Amino acid sequence: MAVHSKGDGLYDGPIVDAHHHWWDTALGRHPWLKGQSGPVLGQSCLPHDYLRAATGYDLRASVHVEAGWDPDDPQGEIAWLDSLPRPEGIAARYVAYADLASPDVEATLAALARNKRVTGVRAIVSWHPDPSMSRVTERHLMMNTDWRAGLSCLEPLGFSLDLLMSPWQVDDACDLFASFPGIRFAINHCSSPFERSTEGMAAWAEGLKRLASAPNAFLKISDLVAYDPDWTEESLTTVARACLAAFGARRCMLGSDHPVATLHATFHQTYEHFRRVFSDLSQEEQLALFASNATEFYRVPSHPCEE
DSSP letter at 53 equals H
Query: β-pairing, 93-97 with 160-164?
Result: unpaired
Task: Identify the pLDDT of residue 7.
Answer: 64
In the chain, where the domains are located: 15-306
List, for residues 152-165, the tens digit of each pLDDT value. Answer: 999 999 999 999 99
CATH topology of domain 15-306: TIM Barrel (3.20.20)
pLDDT of residue 305: 43
Q: Give the residue ranges of the chain where pLDDT is below 70.
A: 1-7, 303-307
Global pTM? 0.95
Angle among Cα 101, 107, 113 to the nearest 5 degrees reads 105
State the virtual CA torsion across 235, 222, 205, 239 in degrees, nearest 10.
Answer: -20
What pLDDT shows up at residue 307?
53
Q: Where are the alpha helices (DSSP H) in the chain?
A: 47-53, 74-83, 105-113, 145-151, 154-157, 170-179, 198-212, 233-247, 267-277, 283-287, 293-297
Residue 2's Cβ-side half-sphere holds a number of Cα atoms within 13 Å equal to 5
